[in-house]
Amino acid sequence: MGKRHPQTDAIRLQQRTNEKEHSAPLFLTSSFVYDSAEDMAAAFADDSLDVNIYSRFSNPTVDEFIAKVAALEGAADGIATGTGMAAVFSTFMTFLSKGDHILSASAVFGSTHTILTKYLPKWGFESSYFDMNKPETIEALIQPNTKLLYVETPSNPGLDIIDLEYVGAICKKHNILFVVDNCFATPAVQQPIKFGADLVLHSATKFMDGQGRVLGGVVVGRKDLIHDLYLFVRNTGPSLSPFNAWVLSKSLETLFIRMDKHAENALQLAKKLESNSKISWVKYPYLPTHPQHAIAKKQMSNGGAVVTFELKGGIESGRKFLNALQMLSMTNNLGDSRTIASHPASTTHSKLSVAEKKAVGITDGLVRVSVGLEHIDDIIADIEQALEKC
């Protein structure tokens, strides 16, 4: 057989023990045993040795999950972490030294923003933001000490999209590490390494799980970079639990068909909402009205699962809309089989100043919908009846 399709690897990449089980086993163990004192000594003498020592370092179930994600992203290797934010933080701490500068898109997840602005300065790291909608401004912001450029595309919650190939070329020219958060798209929709990314990371909690059950993070990329990252995770401890890895690995088997259905529902919802009189605008990557629609079509196989829209009535209208929902879930997660609605201005981003909200694309009436797998008619009906009441 020739090279297999990624959909097949998501299903077929798995280990098998001497028990010859068909479904992947779960290795719930904190440590592993040795055949001799010499083997034990060798395991600790060489940290590149392919041997399991302790589940904080490596575990067969976790390794299977990593191997699948690496295959789907077209990466050489990877490392898993306990949460998506652990993946973000570990990446920053591994590749930045005191005095280094990180250049990040301003439209990043709230906790990433907090790490960049509150914690990294305490350890002597500098950071600055660029506007995803003005990629031509990036090069002028690069400093002699810029070591890493960070971006998520589509962004959360504004659904801003940036041309990965364009940014990748800039990073290569200036010898900067290019790191992409691919959580919203997933490798079923977009593979940033194809466009020049050095490292790709995910909150596996979202679409990779797809059912709102477990937490997890993963980073994939070049083998040399992943080895450095592995040593940081091994020594500081934000490891992924084998149970969560087993759940996530099984979930990857359905990732492609789930993302196709999520996107099909999301596009139908976005088109339907465009004509609703209670809404100022609707944003979705595969709508022709999206400012970066052409870029989305170039680097994404579909528009993903998240739709945002602007209610005309501002913050109070947003609260009324959430309270009027009868089926959709009100929760701060996304990437679930169940459709979820959130109103960032009154919840997750309520502590931000007006200027800060504007910088990350959050307006008072912005509603983010993570479109699930229910029948599209039921999703639309619940949103339309809630809009009537707000």
What CATH number should be reported for the domain holding residue 352? 3.90.1150.10
Is residue 47's pLDDT more than 80? no
- Say how many domains are in the chain: 2
On whether both 227 and 103 belong to a single domain, the answer is yes
Q: Are 117 and 111 in contact (CB under 8 A)?
A: no
On whether both 125 and 271 belong to a single domain, the answer is no
On whether both 243 and 124 belong to a single domain, the answer is yes
DSSP 7: H
Residue 211, domain member (yes or no):
yes
Query: According to the model, what pLDDT value does residue 323 have?
Result: 95
Q: pLDDT-based confidence at 345, cuts 50/70/90?
A: confident
Is residue 327's pLDDT more than 70? yes
* Tokens of residue 258, six digits: 């789930």
On whether both 306 and 320 belong to a single domain, the answer is yes
On whether both 224 and 175 belong to a single domain, the answer is yes
Residue 46, domain member (yes or no):
yes
Question: Which of 252, 283, 308 represents a domain boundary (last residue)?
Answer: 252
For residue 282, list its beta bridge partners: 309
In whole angstroms, give the CA distance from residue 241 to residue 58: 10
Question: Which of 198, 224, 252 represents a domain boundary (last residue)?
Answer: 252
Instruction: Kindly give, in sequence order, each residue whose CB lies less than 8 Å from that of residue 266, ignoring residues fewer than 6 positions away.
Output: 284, 303, 304, 305, 306, 307, 371
DSSP 228: H
**CATH number, domain containing residue 211:** 3.40.640.10
Query: According to the model, what pLDDT value does residue 354 have?
Result: 79
Q: Are 154 and 306 in contact (CB under 8 A)?
A: yes
Is residue 1's pLDDT more than 70? no
Instruction: Kindly give, in sequence order, each residue whose CB lies less than 8 Å from that of residue 171, ignoring residues fewer than 6 positions away.
Output: 149, 177, 178, 196, 198
Q: Are 212 and 333 in contact (CB under 8 A)?
A: yes
Query: According to the model, what pLDDT value does residue 49 have?
Result: 65
In whole angstroms, give the CA distance from residue 195 to residue 176: 15
What is the CA 123 to chain-centroid distance, rounded? 25
On whether both 124 and 183 belong to a single domain, the answer is yes
For residue 130, list its beta bridge partners: 105
On whether both 245 and 167 belong to a single domain, the answer is yes
pLDDT in tens, 195-254: 999 999 999 999 999 999 999 999 999 999 999 999 999 999 999 999 999 999 999 999
Query: According to the model, what pLDDT value does residue 371 have?
Result: 98
- Mean pLDDT score across all residues of the chain: 95
On whether both 162 and 191 belong to a single domain, the answer is yes
Number of residues that make up the chain: 390
Q: Which of 57, 72, 55 is nearest to 13 (CA)?
A: 72
Q: N- to C-terminal Cα distance for the chain?
A: 57
| More confident position, 2 or 166 | 166
pTM attached to this predicted model = 0.95
At 304, give phi and psi (nearest 5°).
80, -170
pLDDT in tens, 65-87: 999 999 999 999 999 999 999 99
On whether both 106 and 89 belong to a single domain, the answer is yes
In whole angstroms, give the CA distance from residue 230 to residue 239: 10
Q: Which of 247, 258, 285 is nearest to 28 (CA)?
A: 247
In whole angstroms, give the CA distance from residue 222 to residue 68: 15
On whether both 145 and 272 belong to a single domain, the answer is no
Question: Which of 195, 221, 252 represents a domain boundary (last residue)?
Answer: 252
Residue 1, domain member (yes or no):
no
Residue 290, domain member (yes or no):
yes
Which of 181-185, 281-285, 310-314, 339-343 is predicted with the least confidence, judged by mean pLDDT? 310-314
Is residue 39's pLDDT more than 70? yes
Domain housing 380: 255-389
On whether both 191 and 96 belong to a single domain, the answer is yes
Instruction: Kindly give, in sequence order, each residue whose CB lies less than 8 Å from that of residue 134, ignoring residues fewer than 6 positions away.
Output: none
Query: According to the model, what pLDDT value does residue 59 have?
Result: 96
Residue 273, domain member (yes or no):
yes
Residue 22, domain member (yes or no):
yes
On whether both 52 and 179 belong to a single domain, the answer is yes
Q: How many CB atoms lie within 10 A of CB 22?
A: 6
